[in-house]
Amino acid sequence: MEKVVSGIRPTGNLHLGNYFGAVKSFVKMQDDYDCMFFIADWHSLTTHPKPGDIQQSARTILAEYLACGIDPKKAPIYVQSDVRETIELYLYLNMNMYLGELERVTTFKEKARKQPDNVNAGLLTYPTLMAADILQHRAAKVPVGKDQEQNMEMARKCARRFNNIYGVEFFPEPQNFYFSDKAIKIPGLDGSGKMGKSEGNCIYLRDDDKTISKKVMKAVTDEGPKTPNSPRPEVIENLFTFLRIVSDDETYRYFDEKWNDCTLRYGDLKKQIAADLCKVVAPIREQIEYYSANTDLLDRIAREGAEVARASAQATINEVRRIIGFRV
Ligand code: ADP
Ligand code: TRP
C-alpha cells in the first residue's frame, strides 16, 4: 500500500481552510492508503520561539483530528517532536540544499517580511524539515492545500538530490494529493484571499452555530448582479465556492440560476451557506468537546502513534546512514 503522510502546525484551532483543504482528505485516505498524520510542533518554533504550553496546543489539534474522523487504528497520529529521528534526516538533507534556493521560497520571503527581527535559520530551512517529515516514511503522497505546493516541490528536490548524489533510487518523489481534480483554496469571507489564521478571518471547527452564522452573514458582497449571465466578482465567487463545498448540487444550481437572471439576494445565499455549514460543523464540534476532555486518551493515542512513526523513521535512517557510509 502506498504511504501517505501529512501534518499541521499547532498554532491555533483548526479552521474550515484546514478542514476542507487538508483534514477531510486525511479522513478519506485512511481507508485506502498506509497513512500517518502528525502535529508539526517543531515547525511552529520558526514563528513562535517561545510557544507557551506546546503540549496542550498539540492536544488541541489531536482532539480536532480525531473529531474530524481520523481513526488512529487506521492512521496513527503522532507529535513531530516525539520522533527525534527526523532531525538526523533533516541534517543530511540540509547538507544538499543551497542558500539561494531556500531564500527564493515564497513562504520564507513572506515570513521574513512579517518578522524582520527573527529571520532565523529554522525559517529558512522550513522546507527541509518538512521534506524530512515526509521522506523519513518514504511517503508517496501528501495531502495538503494549495499553499503548500512550493514546499512540496522542495521536498521532491531533496529526494531527487539525495538519490542523485549517492547514486541510489531510495527516496520516492512525494506527490501533492488533492481529492478533487485540483487544489482547493478556501477563501476568506472578508474579501482578502484565503482563509487563514494570520488573516484573522477564520471560521473554526469549534465555533458554535451562532458564531458561524454571524461570520457568514458578515461576508463581504457587492451591490448585486446587474447584467444577466455575467461573470461573478471574486467576493461573490467566494460565497459560491462555499456553496459548492457544503450544499448539494440542486441548491447550487438554484442560486447559480438566481445569479444568472439577476434575482439573487445575498441574504438568502448567506443563510443557506450558514445553515449547511452548521450541519457539517456541529457534529465535529461535539466530538471535539468529547475528545478535549479526555486528556489520558489523547496522550495514549499520541504515544502509540509515535511508536509506529519512530519505527518507520528508524528503518529509513538506518538505510540512509548505510547509503552515506556511517556506522549503523
Ligand atoms: P494557516 O494558513 O491558517 O496558518 P496552515 O498553514 O497551518 O493554516 O495550514 C495547514 C493545512 O491546511 C495545510 O495543508 C494548508 O494547505 C491547509 N490550508 C490552510 N488554509 C487553507 C485554505 N484557506 N484553503 C485550503 N487549504 C488550506
Ligand atoms: N508546512 C505545513 C503547513 O504549514 C505543515 C507541515 C510540516 C507538513 N511538515 C509537513 C505538511 C509534512 C505535510 C507534510 O501546513
List, for residues 121-149, the tens digit of each pLDDT value.
999 999 999 999 999 999 999 999 888 99
pLDDT given for residue 192 in this prediction: 77
Q: Based on the fold, state whether residues 299 and 262 are members of the same structural domain.
A: no
Q: Is residue 198 part of a domain?
A: no
186 close to ligand 1 (CB < 6 Angstrom): yes
**pLDDT-above-70 percentage for the chain:** 100
Task: Please tell me which residue in 74, 146, 185, 194 is annotated as part of the active site.
Answer: 194
Q: Which residue from 43, 138, 152, 155 is spatially nearest to 96, judged by alpha carbons?
A: 155
298 close to ligand 1 (CB < 6 Angstrom): no
Q: Based on the fold, state whether residues 98 and 127 are members of the same structural domain.
A: yes
Residues with CB under 6 A from ligand 2: 5-9, 40, 43, 130, 133-134, 142, 144, 148, 151
Q: Is residue 193 part of a domain?
A: no
Q: Based on the fold, state whether residues 314 and 241 are members of the same structural domain.
A: no
Q: Based on the fold, state whether residues 115 and 219 are members of the same structural domain.
A: no
Q: Based on the fold, state whether residues 175 and 36 are members of the same structural domain.
A: yes
Q: Is residue 83 part of a domain?
A: yes
Q: Based on the fold, state whether residues 311 and 237 are members of the same structural domain.
A: no
Nearest ligand, measured from the Cα of 48: 1
12 close to ligand 1 (CB < 6 Angstrom): no
197 close to ligand 1 (CB < 6 Angstrom): yes
Q: Based on the fold, state whether residues 28 and 126 are members of the same structural domain.
A: yes
**Tens-place pLDDT, residues 295-311:** 999 999 999 999 999 99
CATH number for the domain harbouring residue 31: 3.40.50.620
Q: Based on the fold, state whether residues 57 and 113 are members of the same structural domain.
A: yes
Q: Based on the fold, state whether residues 221 and 175 are members of the same structural domain.
A: no
**Tens-place pLDDT, residues 205-264:** 999 999 999 999 999 999 999 999 999 999 999 999 999 999 999 999 999 999 999 999
CATH number for the domain harbouring residue 267: 1.10.240.10
Q: Is residue 202 part of a domain?
A: no
Q: Is the predicted pLDDT of residue 183 greater than 80, yes or no?
A: no
Q: Is residue 191 part of a domain?
A: no
Q: Is 146 a catalytic residue?
A: no
Q: Based on the fold, state whether residues 282 and 303 are members of the same structural domain.
A: no
Burial letters 19-51, b for 16+ CB under 10 A, else e: bbbbbbbbbebbeebbbbbbbbbbbbbbbbeeb
**Tens-place pLDDT, residues 66-96:** 999 999 999 999 999 999 999 999 999 999 9
Residues 6 or more apart in contact with residue 96 via CB below 8 angstroms: 158, 161, 162, 165
Whether the Cβ atoms of residue 233 and residue 222 lie closer than 8 Å to each other: yes
Please tell me the pTM assigned to this model: 0.94
C-alpha cell at 244: 459548492
- Environment class of residue 212 by beta-carbon count within 10 Å: exposed (0-12), middle (13-18) or buried (19+)? buried
Q: Is 197 a catalytic residue?
A: yes
Where in the sequence is the domain holding 219, given as residue range(s)?
Answer: 209-288
C-alpha cell at 56: 496542550
- In total, how many domains does the chain have? 2
Q: Based on the fold, state whether residues 144 and 10 are members of the same structural domain.
A: yes
Q: Based on the fold, state whether residues 139 and 264 are members of the same structural domain.
A: no
